[in-house]
């Protein structure tokens, strides 16, 4: 206990760079002692338990979100010093931005991988490095090995400039595991869970424990089969189960009771796991670990097209998705026969981390190249975390996408089917969606002191987008936390997103048991609220403050109210300044590390 204050204070100081106030006063306390005039939530007081004997289906309770981030919150991402450093200039990279430096930087990354060391830094000294993909569909730079850190000289000193304007479905930087790391790839070693798990637990009863050892990485899986869909009244999802994916929890085994056939895992489950939902466990190898991206600015050359930037202009001339778009909006089947400018940039990303764990993106900022007439920073999307766990994104800034159309464009940060990831002190600005969480496997993720500024914006065309706000976007991402986030001409939401004119499967229930804690609303020209929460089962909005404090809990389609019932729990509207603790994440982290 004597070491707790310094450990958590160090973590809080690390997270607070560039933010004010610097440190939440609650982190040095593990018990509740609110000052005079403060208040605490009825769901989070001195009687709170991290593993309550309660049901996700019938009870209201706040979960333990302290596992989010690098090393599940036990450590901050390291600043590596006494490790091999490979300078990209030694491989022929040009810091003047004249010659193409792609092959030189990739050669340095490949050399780092070949060293088979626990950690290697690939260093980009101050300068501008011109890069671009070498073939259609490929990323510009790729990292596929543990322990590689791509480090610049700092934001505003090292610039990575991607010079390709046709980037459909591509990334500037891609970090990815092996094919076996795909969380949906099951193999032949699945073991059924032998009891329904209605609440959060770290003990998993299984048919047999022989396939597993302590330290193994596993997937706990639940499928949205007919039983799940009927229980959740999402009948419009019948027939689209494969598209929806599954609830997937990536965990490590920390104990095995072979006599009782129980696996003990390193973090709690986040939603109901029933035998009727085919609840099961299987090994999961192949994730990439301890990769870092840090200390540089990154951007893309602006696409030269000045038309073809409307909401559906990304669509391919033909294909199943294009057909569904046409049918949902009563458009002719050949509506996308002519490719538009947006087609070239659709679903491109600045950075993708896929099948990655215990890694980080730190002090990375987008920038506008001097030749970009519209002030564009990048073509479509910023940072995406996909099927990843315990990745920390710290002190980053992503803004000013050229295109923010439908179908997955204009997101600054997207958490996609990932567990326990942590985005802190980061800015999203001038976007379609600033921060977005998607997919049934997204749970346990935390956004801490993030700012969404000027939503519904793109640099091309009209400058406006149809979609807006920071959101839980689709298909029952659940049990996440927005903590001390700020909305400036935007808002945060976890609500039902059923729309009449939307291709199937509709987004519908986007969340359950998500907490939106101590939110600050600076402005919102679109709506008279800072939070919109209409979650399945229960949702929680605890504390708002600022110029815009209201919370909305209903929807646009009355028929959907039965699906989302009961109405979400709201406490402390306009009273966030006196909420105790100010940060739920830091307070829970302090409590867990004290145990």
CA distance 104 to 109: 9
pLDDT at 408 over 60: yes
In this predicted model, what pLDDT tens digit does every residue of 409-419 receive, in sequence order?
999 999 999 99
Contact (Cβ atoms closer than 8 angstroms) between residue 167 and residue 135: no
| Torsion angles phi and psi, residue 400, rounded to 5 | 60, 65
**Confidence at residue 4, expressed as pLDDT on a 0 to 100 scale:** 41
- Predicted TM-score (pTM) of this structure: 0.95
Burial 113-151 (b: 16+ CB within 10 A, else e): beeeeebbbbbbeebbbbbbbeeeeebbbbbbbbbbbbb
pLDDT band at residue 32 under the 50/70/90 scheme: low
CATH architecture of the domain formed by 72-177+288-308+333-468: 3 Solenoid (2.160)
CA distance 14 to 77: 10
**Confidence at residue 290, expressed as pLDDT on a 0 to 100 scale:** 98
In this predicted model, what pLDDT tens digit does every residue of 443-500 receive, in sequence order?
999 999 999 999 999 999 999 999 999 999 999 999 999 999 999 999 999 999 998 8
Percent of the chain with pLDDT over 70: 94
- Distance, C-alpha 492 to centroid of its chain: 14
Query: Which is nearest to 400 in space by CA: 424, 448, 434?
Result: 434
**Confidence at residue 283, expressed as pLDDT on a 0 to 100 scale:** 97
pLDDT band at residue 353 under the 50/70/90 scheme: very high
pLDDT at 34 over 80: no
pLDDT at 140 over 80: yes
Cα–Cα distances in angstroms (integers) from residue 157 to residues 129, 154, 171, 190, 296, in the given order: 11, 5, 22, 49, 7
**Confidence at residue 21, expressed as pLDDT on a 0 to 100 scale:** 34
CA distance 230 to 551: 30
CA distance 424 to 422: 6
**Confidence at residue 24, expressed as pLDDT on a 0 to 100 scale:** 42
DSSP state string for 450-474: -EEEEESB-SSTTSB-S--SEEEEE
pLDDT at 164 over 50: yes
Q: Other C-beta atoms within 10 Å of 387: how many?
A: 28
Q: Is 2 helix (H, G, I), strand (E, B) or coil?
A: coil
CA distance 283 to 25: 41
Query: Mean per-residue pLDDT for 70-95?
Result: 96
Determine the number of helices (DSSP H) and then strands (DSSP E) in the chain.
8, 38
Which residues make Cβ contacts (< 8 Å) with residue 50, sequence separation at least 6? 63, 64, 200, 268, 588, 591, 592
The answer to which of 11-15, 23-27, 162-166, 269-273 has the lowest mean pLDDT is: 23-27
**Confidence at residue 23, expressed as pLDDT on a 0 to 100 scale:** 37
Cα–Cα distances in angstroms (integers) from residue 524 to residues 90, 338, 481, 534, in the given order: 50, 37, 21, 19
**Confidence at residue 501, expressed as pLDDT on a 0 to 100 scale:** 79
Q: End-to-end CA distance of the chain: give it in Å, rounded.
A: 8
What Rg value do the Cα atoms of the chain yield, rounded? Answer: 23
pLDDT at 3 over 50: no
In this predicted model, what pLDDT tens digit does every residue of 215-237 receive, in sequence order?
999 999 999 999 999 999 999 99
Average pLDDT over the chain, rounded to whole?
93
Sign, Cα dihedral of 507, 509, 514, 518: positive
**Confidence at residue 214, expressed as pLDDT on a 0 to 100 scale:** 98
Any bridge partners for residue 359, and if so which?
391
pLDDT at 9 over 60: no
CA distance 69 to 74: 9
pLDDT at 143 over 70: yes
**Confidence at residue 1, expressed as pLDDT on a 0 to 100 scale:** 27
pLDDT at 258 over 60: yes
Domain boundaries, the chain: 72-177+288-308+333-468, 191-286
CA distance 497 to 463: 24
Query: Mean per-residue pLDDT for 133-152?
Result: 96
**Confidence at residue 11, expressed as pLDDT on a 0 to 100 scale:** 56
């Amino acid at each position: 206990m004597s070491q707790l204050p310094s450990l958590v204070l160090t973590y809080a100081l690390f997270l607070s760079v560039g933010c004010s106030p610097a440190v939440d006063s609650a982190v040095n306390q593990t018990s509740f002692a609110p000052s005079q005039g403060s208040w605490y939530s009825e769901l989070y007081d001195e009687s709170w338990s991290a593993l309550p004997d309660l049901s996700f289906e019938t009870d209201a309770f706040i979960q333990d979100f302290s596992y989010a981030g690098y090393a599940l919150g036990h450590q901050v991402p390291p600043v590596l010093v006494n490790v091999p450093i490979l300078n990209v200039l030694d491989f022929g990279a040009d810091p003047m931005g004249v010659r193409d430096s792609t092959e030189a930087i990739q050669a340095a990354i490949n050399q780092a991988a070949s060293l088979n060391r626990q950690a290697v830094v690939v260093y980009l000294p101050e300068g501008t490095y011109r890069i671009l993909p070498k073939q259609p569909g490929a990323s510009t730079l790729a990292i596929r090995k543990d322990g590689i850190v791509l480090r610049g000289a700092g934001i505003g000193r090292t610039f990575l400039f991607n010079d390709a304007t046709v980037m459909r479905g591509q990334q500037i930087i891609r970090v990815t595991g092996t094919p076996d790391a795909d969380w949906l790839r099951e193999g032949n070693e699945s073991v059924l869970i032998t009891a329904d798990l209605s609440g959060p637990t770290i003990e998993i009863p299984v048919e047999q424990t022989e396939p597993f050892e302590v330290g193994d990485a596993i997937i706990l899986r639940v499928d949205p089969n007919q039983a799940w869909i009927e229980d959740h009244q999402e009948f419009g999802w019948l027939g689209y189960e494969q598209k929806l994916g599954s609830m997937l929890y990536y965990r490590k085994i920390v104990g095995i009771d072979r006599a009782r056939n129980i696996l003990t895992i390193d973090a709690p489950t986040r939603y109901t796991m029933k035998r009727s939902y085919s609840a099961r466990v299987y090994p999961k190898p192949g994730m990439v670990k301890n990769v870092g991206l840090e200390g540089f600015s990154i951007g893309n050359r602006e696409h030269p097209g000045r038309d073809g930037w409307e909401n559906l202009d990304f669509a391919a001339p033909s294909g199943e998705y294009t057909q569904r778009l046409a049918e949902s909006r009563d458009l002719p089947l050949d509506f996308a026969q002519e490719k538009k400018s947006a087609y070239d940039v659709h679903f491109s990303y600045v950075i993708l981390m896929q099948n990655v764990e215990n890694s980080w993106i730190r002090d990375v900022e987008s920038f506008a190249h001097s030749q970009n007439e519209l002030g564009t920073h990048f073509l479509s999307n910023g940072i995406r975390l996909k099927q990843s766990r315990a990745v920390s994104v710290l002190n980053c800034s992503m803004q000013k996408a050229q295109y923010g159309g439908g179908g997955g464009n204009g997101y600054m940060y997207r958490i996609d089917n990932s567990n326990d990831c942590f985005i802190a002190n980061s800015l999203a600005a001038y976007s379609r969606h600033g921060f977005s969480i998607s997919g049934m496997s997204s749970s346990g993720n935390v956004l801490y002191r993030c700012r969404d500024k000027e939503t519904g914006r793109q640099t091309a065309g009209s400058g406006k987008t149809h979609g807006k706000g920071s959101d839980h976007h689709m298909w029952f991402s659940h049990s996440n936390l927005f903590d001390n986030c700020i909305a400036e001409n935007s808002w945060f939401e976890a609500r039902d997103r059923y729309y009449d004119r939307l291709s199937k499967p509709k987004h519908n229930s986007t969340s359950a048991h998500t907490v939106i804690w101590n939110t600050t609303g600076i402005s919102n020209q679109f709506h008279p609220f800072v939070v919109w929460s209409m979650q399945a089962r229960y949702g929680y909005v605890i504390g708002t403050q600022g110029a815009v404090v209201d919370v909305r809990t209903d929807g646009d389609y009355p028929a959907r109210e039965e699906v989302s019932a009961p109405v979400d729990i709201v406490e402390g509207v306009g009273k966030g300044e006196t909420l105790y603790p100010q940060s739920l994440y830091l307070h829970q982290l302090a409590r867990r590390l004290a145990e």
